[in-house]
Amino acid sequence: MTRTHEWHDLTGFQRDVLLVAASLEDGEEQVYGLAINRELEARYGCQVNHGRLYPNLDTLVEAGFVEKSALDRRTNEYRVTPAGASLLDVAHDEIEDARDGIDARVVADGEGSEGKR
C-alpha cells in the first residue's frame, strides 16, 4: 500500500532539507549532499552530522519528493521532484493563509495593538 505524504508527515529536519535542496536548485547550483550540509550548518549555526543528513535525504527520495542520481563515483546529485515542488507550494500557501489571518487581525485590532490581548 502506497502512503501519501504531506508536509506535516515530514520531520522539521526533513522539511529543512527539502527547502535547502530547492533553494540551492533555484540558484542553479549542483545540489549534492555536502552543499546541502553546508547550507544547513549555516542556517542552524552548528555542525550537521552526515549520519543524520543522508538517511533523511534517502527518506525524501523514498517518499518521491527528491530524486537522486550519480554525479560521479562518490557523489550523488539531488533534485526536487514535481511532487516535492507541489508539497512546497502547498506549505507556502498554508503559511500565506496564516499570515493573511494575522494581518487581517492586526488591521481589525488597529495599528500598534499587536501585543495587546
- Is pLDDT at 113 greater than 60 in this prediction? no
| CA triple 5-10-16, angle to 5 deg | 130
Give how many domains the chain has, as a whole number: 1
Tell me, yes or no, whether 14 lies in a domain: yes
The whole-angstrom separation of Cα 80 and Cα 63 is 11
Residue 5 maps to a domain:
no
Q: Quick check: 88 pLDDT over 50? A: yes
Q: Please report whether residue 2 resides in a domain.
A: no
- 114: in domain: no
User: Which domain, by its residues, includes 56?
Assistant: 10-109
**pTM listed for this prediction:** 0.78
Cβ atoms within 10 A of the Cβ of 16, count?
Answer: 18
Q: Please report where in the chains the cell 517518499 appears, as a residue.
A: 63
**Cα 89 to Cα 96: distance, rounded to the nearest angstrom:** 10
Task: Report residue 16's pLDDT band, with 50, 70 and 90 as the boundaries.
Answer: very high
Residue 90: inside a domain: yes
Can you give the CATH number for the domain in which 27 is found?
1.10.10.10
Say which residues have a Cβ less than 8 Å from residue 106's Cβ, sequence separation at least 6.
Answer: 113, 114
Answer whether residue 3 shows pLDDT above 50: no
